[in-house]
A and B are shown apart, each in its own frame.
Chain A
């Protein structure tokens, strides 16, 4: 395993950032309550990304449902996909039931453990629990061994290191040095550390270097991990950004309802995902 030291690129748009994520990439993303790069996810739908493999760290919500419904995803490894209070993730549920989507069922601490192994550059991370579950029976990257440090019988599960091709998430701030600030959402640091490339959308650009500020620094992911950033104001919408704006619960309910059928879902895409691009193209034409 060998991961790069990055010199952060600054993209002119979210579309440019999304264009860097190739078809077939293994993409790690966080849950709805963390910081999800929803505008970049919509840009992936707009560019008709195909055969993505998603990793839920440790589970996923609307971003996965949107990508699955739009036909962008071949496989997903996750502890769960759910829309939280808005209920089941309808596009995920249907694709899993029909067999169109391959699901690799995991459980939260072993996803975190696998990424932490990649962070440390070691081949696996041991974990308690899981033994006797059908998760352990079916997950090809987990193995139960005897604890080599114990004199008595003590089976323990090892989770193989997980090294995603791409980490994709949203941040409150980026700075001119290429650092991003995610506050307490440290699973994003784990994803960034473990992944070959890391793309981050951000709410606002901060002048200077956030690492020089002792109060901000603990919430920063250093530029050494960050491949590229792009501005996306309200880029987590309809999900929230802690301290900036809340999740749009009414819209999430609206989405959950629309996603129940492919036809209504496609209509949702036209209205809320593809129009973004249409509007931008119109603006572009007006400027020329």
Chain B
């Protein structure tokens, strides 16, 4: 039912991005993973989501500084509740 007919803008599923934004433990486990397999199993274990090769590549290209910068866009990383 999700994203009918439209291409996904992010190869990394929104739910993975959102968890990384909201959960520092998951964020650092994800960004600290050294191999593609470690990234895949981190995401599967936590969210039951399978990542594509492109998604894994995008995650490998991210660093904590970039994510921290994104979080700084929202003072405490807390979005609206609705």
B and A form one assembly: no
Chain A residues within 8 Å of B, Cβ to Cβ: none
Chain B residues within 8 Å of A, Cβ to Cβ: none
